[in-house]
Amino acid sequence: MSPRSVIRYAEWMLGRDTTPGASEPIFVMECTTCLATSEPAASPEGPEDWAIKHTARRHDHDGFRALVTSFARVSPAPGNPLYAEPPSLPR
Q: Which tens digits make up the pLDDT trace of 25-64?
A: 999 999 999 999 999 999 999 999 999 999 999 999 999 9
pTM recorded for the entire structure? 0.72
Distance CA(91)–CA(77), nearest Å, equals 25
What pLDDT was estimated at residue 31? 98
Label the pairing between strands 26-31 and 12-16. Answer: unpaired
Q: What pLDDT score was predicted for residue 90?
A: 60
Q: Is the pLDDT of residue 1 over 60?
A: no
Residue 86 has pLDDT above 80, yes or no: no
Residue (of 65, 56, 77, 66) closest to 14 by Cα position: 77
